[in-house]
Structure 1
Amino acid sequence: MAYGPPTPPPDMSTDRGSGALAAFRQFLSLERDVLTLSLAMFAFSLAFQMTGRYVPEYLRVLGASATVVGLYGSVGNLIGALYPYPGGALSDRIGSRLALTLFGVVATLGFGLWALAPALELTVGVLVIPAWAWVFVGLFLAQAWKSFGLGATFAVVRQSVPDAELASGFAATETFRRVGFLVGPLLAAALLAVTPGFVRGFQRVLVLAVAFGAVATVAQHVLYDASEDTIGDAFAGIGAIADDLRSLPDPLRPLLVADTLVRFANGMVYVFFVIVVTDFLAVGLETPALSLAGFTLAPITLTPAAFFGVLLGVEMVVALVSMVPVARLTERVGLKPAVAVGFAVYAVFPAMLIAAPADQLVLVALFAFSGLRFAGLPAHKALIVGPAERDAGGRVTGSYYLVRNTVVIPSALLGGIIYGLDRVTVAGTALAGPTVAFGLATVVGLAGTGYFLVAGEEFEAYT
């Protein structure tokens, strides 16, 4: 497959204003079916973000060890690596509309199974099936819709946006989708704050996720018309996957190596972020009573679990505010600097979090800093799909993520094993397992960032 200069795209007028509102206007100008599909992605993103970041704590409370929590993360990585291609093949056989509906139903059932997990502990003779085991079963269901549309999203943007505006095009869709990442954890935090007991509160969160999934599934089935959709209808089997891997554009190879190292590092500790806040640091939120213009605001007290949702909200506010301006800036300075900054934030955050004092304001600042990793995400996506031919964006994206996500699969299990150790001797000093796991993640992440700075290439349209 040759990857020559892409043909000029059709003339598409876009709102060149700055900021998140311009991104929303650009997003809402998309063709109806693409908009419908994206709104369904938003709803499922909302449901998954309400629940997914809390599942490791759910597992811990249900009796799972740190190794089991790590295994959960690795199983999630495995699903993310393997689901997209079978999903595309199934779509070819039964049609996009029916496939999307099926995946929506399956994902919604997964949220429901998570909610029922505490009541499903079984004893069969001498065999005990713990409640947390059903969380793993639910994961295979809940991930169905999330892992399906990755290549399609990239391909739509690649085909619709001029080369020099790819980062801005991704910023438009990404900003809209990330609102789910903001609203979801805040809804979860509100429910957890008003419900006694973490398990009971999280079950309420899961019930709400079921409702979002059901509404999104019905809406996409009624509104989405896939009669002219050509994405994913030419799947040719394993041989085609191998051909796509061999023909990845040369500029992608350094990015793929660096990205894999950074994501492996993040994968080692990502599932433990909630446990560090709720258990390792055990930090909640307490605010004093405030008087303003004759009104008195009562003090606010949040449990560590509810406070974690607020921290995720802070992280996503920074992401939403920064993505569009940074995407515009890349049109002047290039994609590579923005991607490098994102990699660097990914790399250093684990060490900063595990070394942080048990102070609520420090954690707010840290998660605000973490939000900057999303600022480079549109540039990162543009750098992935930019070198591809205009009609090959989906295949290139699928191949790239297949390699990256496959290598990253064992990262969470490795991190969980280390995290669960009582003591690890490093250079003659005894350190706690969580400290070693998060510190090692930062070392690996910095190695990937350094490699990208040295070997990474800029997309020609941005030079």
Structure 2
Amino acid sequence: MSLEQGDSRDEEADPFDAFRQFFALERDVIVLSAAMFAFSLGFQMTNRYMAEYMSALGATAIVIGLFGTFGNVISALYPYPGGAISDRIGSRYALTAFGLCSTLGFGVWLAAPLFADVSVGPTSLAIVAVFVGLILAQAWKSFGLGATYAIVKQAVPPSQLAAGFASTETFRRTAFLVGPLIAAALFFPFGSGDTDVRIAFQLILIVALVFGVLGTLVQHFLYEAEEDSFGKEFEGVSQILTDLRAMPDELRPLLIGDTLVRFSNGMVYVFFVIVVTRFLGVGLSLSLPAVGTVDLSPQSYFGLLLGLEMLVALLVMIPASKAAERVGLKPVVALGFGVYAIFPILLINAPESAAALAVLFAFSGLRFAGLPAHKALIVGPAEQGAGGRVTGTYYLLRNLIVIPSAALGGLIWEGFSNPLTGEAVLAGSPALAFAIATVIGLIGTAYFLLFGEEFEAYR
């Protein structure tokens, strides 16, 4: 499949082509964009609120941290086989299967509260169902990662990779903008109690389920697979070791810096919603003409904050990808890493002010400025037909190391005692968890600035 129907790889990749081709109703672009929009919307609406949903179901901070770590395990294990599968069977069947799994995952999350009264050890079957649902729900996002990278790799020339990724990322991030706004609207009629949170979130899951079904059907029946590139057949564990040894040297400094930054973000990412809704407890009160005063709960306001974050991301990604063609990929990627690093310490120390949080989440949107350039640095050195496997190998290494980050963050957040004596080893401290995360992120950013290499096509 091509992102530029009828265009030569030697022509410039315009980040706005995705929108132009979409409105011109070119089917190959519609299919990729529609599927990307549908699943990104569903996952963004749900995943950013999962800590709040789990808390309403009775989960502790440690369990929420373990959920984040479980997500890291999936993120580590899924991309490599997903990339190998897409290289072997093509993107059409791979993405269709992954989409079906994600849709089923939304359904499992929807049904979870039905089992809230069934105990499973120290927790409930509802919490177990949330973990099981994640195994399925993250399939399109993580299994399909290599397939989507490979599609862009085969569609644009090397010197335009950042712009090509900006094109597809624009569609993804548009869904990331719309999804939280839908969530905010669905939370609006409800209060902040646990029962209200459960009901509102189930409505959100119904919307995600509908979009998952539509995305799966569209990409299966309308996808044109004639231009898919195929790699060699997967040869088992020996193939993984071969691919690890064959990873381009240019990726190694990027991988180290990226891993540290992602570890820092992983420590606290799942708790962002908890900070806004329960730690700070900030909502929004607006006086609107002809309407009067409108009070938004912290849960509803969090959706608006996420929408604001994505609006900034959409505004900066395309200019940043074009700037990368002039100044190189490395400075743009470093900018994104820096924002990732310092956001946690800023958030946990933010005043209990709706305006202050709005400014902070707008700033957070700048971290996405480096995302297209980051993807170009990852897939750029790969040989044609191996984009999915190189991407999968990169994320396999990064995400394996990041696995314990959320559990560590949850442990520091809630504190823990010596299981033998019962004496407190560490008192719970959200501020400490977020401060440690920022220090690790800054170390990763500095390492990349010192040792990161530029992709040849951008020198």
- Say yes or no: TM over 0.5: yes
The residue aligned with 2:116 is 121
Q: Which structure 2 residues correspond to residues 40-59 of structure 1 after superposition, within 5 A?
A: 40-59=35-54
The residue aligned with 2:437 is 441
Deviation (angstroms), 1:211: 0.8
For 1:286, what is the secondary structure of its paired residue? strand
For 1:299, what is the secondary structure of its paired residue? strand
What is the distance in 1 between the residues matched to 2:35 and 2:110?
A: 22
Are positions 1:178 and 2:173 aligned together?
yes
Are positions 1:331 and 2:330 aligned together?
no
The residue aligned with 1:360 is 354
What is the distance in 1 between the residues matched to 2:85 and 2:331?
A: 39
Q: Verify the 8 A CA contact 1:122 1:128 in the aligned structure 2.
A: no
Q: Which structure 2 residues correspond to residues 144-163 of structure 1 after superposition, within 5 A?
A: 144-163=139-158
The residue aligned with 2:199 is 200
Deviation (angstroms), 1:213: 0.8
Are positions 1:132 and 2:131 aligned together?
no
Are positions 1:375 and 2:363 aligned together?
no
What is the distance in 1 between the residues matched to 2:314 and 2:385?
A: 29
Unaligned runs of 5+ in 1: 1-8, 291-295, 424-429
The residue aligned with 1:462 is 458
Structure 1 pair 102/152, CA: closer, same or farther in 2 (3 Å)?
closer
What is the distance in 2 between the residues matched to 1:15 and 1:95?
A: 23
Deviations 1:398-426 (A, max 9, x none): 11111001111111011111111289xxx
Q: Verify the 8 A CA contact 1:88 1:232 in the aligned structure 2.
A: no
Deviations 1:343-378 (A, max 9, x none): 000000000000001100000000000000001111
Match among 73, 78, 84 for residue 79 of structure 2:
84
Greater Cα offset, 344-353 or 29-38: 29-38
Q: Verify the 8 A CA contact 1:255 1:452 in the aligned structure 2.
A: yes
Query: Which residue identity lines up with residue 453 of structure 1 in the other structure?
Result: L
For 1:300, what is the secondary structure of its paired residue? strand
Q: Which structure 2 residues correspond to residues 90-129 of structure 1 after superposition, within 5 A?
A: 97-123=92-118, 129=124
Structure 1 pair 350/27, CA: closer, same or farther in 2 (3 Å)?
farther
Deviations 1:84-131 (A, max 9, x none): 344456668987545433332222121111111111135479887342
Match among 398, 409, 412 for residue 404 of structure 1:
398
Are positions 1:251 and 2:245 aligned together?
no
Deviation (angstroms), 1:30: 11
Q: Verify the 8 A CA contact 2:161 2:376 in the aligned structure 1.
A: yes
Structure 1 pair 158/26, CA: closer, same or farther in 2 (3 Å)?
farther
Structure 1 pair 342/440, CA: closer, same or farther in 2 (3 Å)?
same
Deviation (angstroms), 1:26: 6.5
Structure 1 pair 124/181, CA: closer, same or farther in 2 (3 Å)?
closer
Q: Which structure 2 residues correspond to residues 180-329 of structure 1 after superposition, within 5 A?
A: 180-196=175-191, 197-226=196-225, 229-231=228-230, 234-290=233-289, 296-329=290-323
Q: Verify the 8 A CA contact 2:256 2:444 in the aligned structure 1.
A: yes
Unaligned runs of 5+ in 2: 1-6, 418-425
What is the distance in 1 between the residues matched to 2:120 and 2:270?
A: 33
The residue aligned with 1:6 is none
What is the distance in 2 between the residues matched to 1:186 and 1:310?
A: 6
Deviations 1:62-94 (A, max 9, x none): 110101000000111111111234445666898
The residue aligned with 1:36 is 31
Query: Which residue identity lines up with residue 202 of structure 1 in the other structure?
Result: F
Deviations 1:321-348 (A, max 9, x none): 0000111111111111111110000000
- The percentage of counterpart residues that share the same residue type is 60
Deviation (angstroms), 1:166: 1.3
Structure 1 pair 368/287, CA: closer, same or farther in 2 (3 Å)?
same
Deviation (angstroms), 1:250: 1.2
What is the distance in 2 between the residues matched to 1:276 and 1:248?
A: 39
Q: Verify the 8 A CA contact 1:342 1:377 in the aligned structure 2.
A: yes
What is the distance in 2 between the residues matched to 1:391 and 1:105?
A: 25
For 1:160, what is the secondary structure of its paired residue? coil
Q: Verify the 8 A CA contact 1:422 1:433 in the aligned structure 2.
A: no
Are positions 1:61 and 2:60 aligned together?
no
Greater Cα offset, 402-411 or 383-392: 383-392
Greater Cα offset, 27-36 or 141-150: 27-36
Q: Verify the 8 A CA contact 2:177 2:310 in the aligned structure 1.
A: yes
Q: Verify the 8 A CA contact 1:23 1:324 in the aligned structure 2.
A: no
Structure 1 pair 91/244, CA: closer, same or farther in 2 (3 Å)?
closer
What is the distance in 2 between the residues matched to 1:394 and 1:95?
A: 10
Deviation (angstroms), 1:158: 1.9
What is the distance in 2 between the residues matched to 1:30 and 1:261?
A: 42
Give the RMSD, CA atoms, in angstroms.
2.6
Structure 1 pair 79/15, CA: closer, same or farther in 2 (3 Å)?
closer
The residue aligned with 1:427 is none
Query: Which residue identity lines up with residue 228 of structure 2 in the other structure?
Result: D
What is the distance in 1 between the residues matched to 2:436 and 2:260?
A: 12
The residue aligned with 1:342 is 336
What is the distance in 2 between the residues matched to 1:220 and 1:336?
A: 34
TM-score by length of 2: 0.89
Deviation (angstroms), 1:21: 4.4
Structure 1 pair 301/422, CA: closer, same or farther in 2 (3 Å)?
farther
Structure 1 pair 226/189, CA: closer, same or farther in 2 (3 Å)?
same
What is the distance in 2 between the residues matched to 1:12 and 1:327?
A: 18
What is the distance in 2 between the residues matched to 1:171 and 1:275?
A: 31
What is the distance in 2 between the residues matched to 1:163 and 1:210?
A: 37
Query: Which residue identity lines up with residue 183 of structure 1 in the other structure?
Result: V
